Structure 1
């Protein structure tokens, strides 16, 4: 890590924990999670899970999955643009160019109330009435299926209930930030409950485009959600829900860094050295319209609980990114612009039965899953170079139909009251078919990456078997030890933009990972200290690696194998009344064991992209009363080591280690109805890349950045 952590006396902490003055009723929260698709105490689940309850989300001012990632060991989150995230868990993630095409998928997936969120992103965390957010680390191929090869994130919303409640929140911040959210719940009868909410977020841009004179990378985001719950009997629970997201804002042109290790510096002429000032001929734009409709039925029968989850997602996105912009000997200008128009329709249906037999000694679930995705995407590339032969516009329409069907089951058997063995299996069948076009639109020469017009159709199918084996020993009521072996896989696919018909019609295969893990979940000192540990080894095969081919395109292929070893430790302590201390550390050694990229480049032994070796998070919060007003202060500190964004591990695609500090202090009225809070994020104002692209032939490095230092105030009223 870039800085060493000092000044922490663990001996003093241990004395405080053991001291009689420590509050006897200060217990670590008993979080319930659904990491195994049924509700269980997080300390009794033999899986590495980090969970954030609704109170934690509020107290840490968590708005996005990037905020979650900062606080979670082994989890990193970047983004190509505000609606195209790139997640990696334990070194497994999708590089740029894979999930940003119609025929590709991500390696870490998101589920929103049991519905797979395949494309188009998700609502912000703070825009939903969430009960919790869960991060499951390691392959989850048995119970969750495709594309959970690295892990997954679950949003779990609060279900409508018989409580009448209303929450209104407004906020102001720097960059002219203005936010408003309203959430409410009301019983319509003894058995019918309704909840609804909406939010608005507006903000000026973090960056400035000198060419147009506009702020860019701003925010204009609107969300709404509605849920209806019907309880016709004690055995039947029905929830119908919908959420909507509308986004319309300027784009995020890339910072163009002149790299002295790649060239002599002449191309730097005309580029503003300030990383927050751009030189693009257009601002670009980010537009998204997301709709999700969900129906969940839970029916308690003599055989067990039968659950049906039906989901439909429709998302339309329009994105224009001026990603390559560099004045060369002004007034000449090099410009490359990518414009994406995508419409995705997704339908999913899951049916599963959770059973309990033999007086509770045998429990588990069996089920079936179906997913259909219709994805139509048009990607246009515009290149304006001083050399006319390289100037032109090309268009790449892609129309892909993907189907996936799976049967799965998992059972746990209690050999004794303390020892449990678990076995599970999932068989998945997949098919993708697509129509792909590459066509020159204009220009004196054929613009890269198009070597010639093509119009091709392609189809491929795959199948995957993803088992899980685990054993756990409840040594004491407060100590669980477990070991597991789990397999996950990620779907195969097709190129997004190819230079030739042959390349476009050639699919790449799925990738697979076997993960072997041992861990312990423990609570000490009357549950005032919680310590969880996991140690893992992963064999990662047939990696879908994306490589930028100069003057062509981003090409995806099954080019590598890798081994990943790591250790993760999470600690929560409450030594004194009102004081909570948290620590999370992740060590990651993720290396390519084979990766020959062409005749000359060999990346064997290099780090996997977005796999920092060390990551430490420390959190401290303290609450107390002043004249019956509640005061709560919290500080979150993260220290992350360097990482690379690409398999070559070249210095120009390296994010140096950095420190992130967030803080929040709140004041709550005696009746708990009013709360005012002041908060700040990235208080060290670190410049952190969300991804990096290096164009060696043009001696340029193109970078979008995470937000700078932000701060503001929030006012909340509850009824």
Structure 2
């Protein structure tokens, strides 16, 4: 760990020194290129970058927010396939596929997020598609096709984006339809049997209406094998589609209706057992009925392939998400524009369940009914965008009504007592529940030019959230329960309640900016974030009676100083931020085996408070017309000041009591150092087009998977190397590329389960990121 920390510190120092030398004029000759040259390594250095981070169009330099932007063209040239690629490009961002799934998103920004994707739990980073908030992480691994850009806003965005943007926000912005008929078709083939087809296009129907469509069909063989069932694991089989209608009745009116649907039938990501199957399970679990296999226990060591498993359940999964939205804009005058965003979304997950122990025996299995999870949401937002002389701003209101529900059985096999050839006696915990949410908000954000160089921005948001939670949990004898439509003998009812909670919060933001020049800006800001509380859908009211009262909101106060600048006709851009956050009421999910007999106990703690400090740096330099370099570096120092969690009660009743364990806890999914360095080189072939070569190395220092360090599953420092070579025809009609990702074939964990102990089969399981892949693509545009 220390070696990597020193290495990254040295890299940061070198990068900063180089930037300072350029700013001081030590190497101006590098930028003395012909201004009339058209072909450059990266055209973004000459284009003014426009973003909508504050709900209105502004240049990137003028926005007093730590903000990273990747255009659709940049992502295309780098070979990015879905939004998890942003983790390699953005400082202090964790954006990964959640454990045990292929389509659920885990997101952290500056140490704040949510790993547990159970229904009813709220993410700590907001995801938006064209200003529509995506409330749940299921089905949120968005494929990258037909987009204009993706913006990553770091730090609390409580004023303009409101609920659950306590860590930041990710904005996925699709492209507006072309004024002329257009079509783009792309085919991908690659390692692991990859074969994809992506197509998009639009056509005007007269002077007022345009229609467009986009579809992506993705197929790939699995990275591993389930050696018990013969099924592949970690494959991809999905499709996504979007239909869009845009209408411009007049120069002052614009309407956009967009409908989308995604179906993902990919096989499960089971994870890899990091410990051997206990020898104490000898013959009984793996010999004779009901599994019809005859393999001695010693044949089940830790598997060499990190994507391989012996899981007995959970191969099949299906996730369906869909929605429809309407955007309406009315430009009343030069000073006032009215905007409305209306949306409805729903999702459903079907699956066999999850095998926590990774063995054929149901030692610790979660099995599901036909529909294990479903949700729906309706939202309405109205905005008034104002602009008059020396001030601009937006005021608005927001409403959302959402529901999420699910059910499952947790089978806890008592394998050591099983007789050879006989079914394993089991304890089953049946769990079901739902959360209904209503959210209301009023907000405003205004910035005023006090002078030619000084700007002040003030904003605030009032939020009210009403939640109703219904939770049921009981123990049954046998492998199943009535919760999922199976047989089971009731042994003990653990939880059965309905409760309501209401939360209100005001989240202000203030910033002061000073223009050092037309293309450089320094700012200082304060912002507050709020994530609502709720109910633990797995709560055990017998072991932890307070679960019926729910848990409280999270709050964070962040102070930030930043600088953004562009120099030498935008051949050099620099953005840096220094921040400190006080984080209160952090919601942490933990699960333990209860030795007093109620089985697996889950609780959500408001653990106390913590302090997060950090630095971020992004820099890009067009050294010659053909060659550019870029870097992004993030550093975080996060520590708990207080951490109150349930710990076993020596007295035995209740089974768990609260204790302060701050000294033994760390931030999960938050490496101390992270970032990337990259280069782009353009070969101008004249009439034969051009070849763009892109290489990048991303790095992350050691990461803990949970708040409690666990050496068996925590991930050490690692680096990922990517490279792309793309030829584009002179007419821009054809594009052929080859993209290599993780070329060094690094094995790295992105998630884990940790349930050690003989009774549950030492269920210590790691989930790994994709191995080395190579993809060839052919694209035609007309």
TM-score, normalised via structure 1 length: 0.93
Q: 1:467 aligns with which of 491, 498, 508?
A: 508
Q: CA 1:263–1:603 in structure 2 vs 1: closer, same or farther (change >3 Å)?
A: farther
* Counterpart check, 1:322 vs 2:370: no
Question: Please, which moves more after superposition, 703-712 or 464-473?
Answer: 703-712
Shift of 1:668: 1.6
Matches within 5 A, 1:270-669: 270-274=300-304, 275-302=306-333, 304-325=336-357, 334-339=363-368, 341-357=372-388, 359=389, 361-386=390-415, 387=417, 391-440=426-475, 442-443=477-478, 452-500=493-541, 502-550=545-593, 551-598=599-646, 602-604=661-663, 606-628=665-687, 629-669=689-729
User: Which of 41, 55, 67 does residue 59 from structure 2 map onto?
Assistant: 41
Q: 1:417 to 1:344 in 2, by over 3 A?
A: same
Contact preservation (8 Å) 2:680, 2:692: yes
* Contact 1:164-1:187 within 8 A present in 2 as well: yes
1:113 equivalent in structure 2:
130
The residue matched to 2:356 in structure 1 has which SS?
strand
Residue 147 (structure 2) pairs with residue 88 (structure 1): no
Whether the 8 Å contact between 2:123 and 2:136 is mirrored in structure 1 is no
Alpha-carbon distance in 1 for matches of 2:409, 2:430: 4
CA contact (8 A) 2:428 2:479 kept: no
Contact kept, 8 Å, 1:323 with 1:702, in 2: the verdict is: no
Give the drift of 1:254: 2.2
Query: Residue deviations 1:479-534, cap 9 Å, x none?
Result: 10001000001111111212236455221011000000000001122221101110
Q: How does 1:126-141 map to 2 (within 5 A)?
A: 126-141=143-158
How far apart are 1:164 and its partner, in Å?
Answer: 1.6
Deviations 1:51-93 (A, max 9, x none): 1111111011112222111210010123122222211000011
Q: Contact 1:271 / 1:279 at 8 angstroms: preserved in 2? A: no
Q: Which moved more, 1:106-115 or 1:622-631?
A: 622-631
Distance 1:180 1:630 in 2: 24
Please identify, of 124-133 and 462-471, the stretch whose mean Cα deviation from structure 2 is larger: 124-133
- Aligned mate of 1:177, from 194, 197, 200: 194
Task: Quote the Cα distance in structure 1 between the aligned partners of 2:642 and 2:233.
Answer: 41
| Cα offset, 1:411, TM superposition | 1.1
Note the 1:196-235 alignment, pairs <5 A.
196-235=213-252
Deviates more, 1:198-207 or 1:393-402: 393-402
Gap regions ≥5 residues in structure 2: 283-296, 419-423, 482-487, 594-598, 648-658
Compare 490-499 and 377-386 and name the one that shifted more. Answer: 377-386
Q: Does the alignment pair 1:706 with 2:766?
A: no
Give the superposed CA RMSD: 2.7
SS at match of 1:19: helix
For the pair 1:58 / 2:76, whether they are aligned, the reply is: yes
Aligned-pair distance for 1:134? 0.4
**Separation of aligned partners in 2, 1:59 and 1:367:** 38
**Per-residue deviation at 1:449?**
13
Partner of 2:286: none
Distance 1:484 1:21 in 2: 36
After the TM superposition, which of the residue ranges 609-618 and 295-304 deviates more from structure 2? 295-304
Structure 1 position 255, deviation (Å): 1.0
Q: Corresponding residue for 1:161?
A: 178
Task: After TM superposition, give the deviation of residue 607 of structure 1 in Å.
Answer: 2.6
* Cα shift at 1:277: 1.8
- TM-score, scaled relative to structure 2: 0.86
Q: Residue by residue, what CA displacement relative to the aligned partner does 1:547-569 show, whole Å, maximum 9, x if unpaired? A: 12224233111112110000000
Distance 1:355 1:326, change over 3 A: closer
Per-residue deviation at 1:265?
13
Is the 8 Å Cα contact of residues 68 and 90 (structure 2) preserved in structure 1?
Answer: yes
Displacement, 1:276?
2.4
| CA displacement at 1:655 relative to structure 2 | 1.0
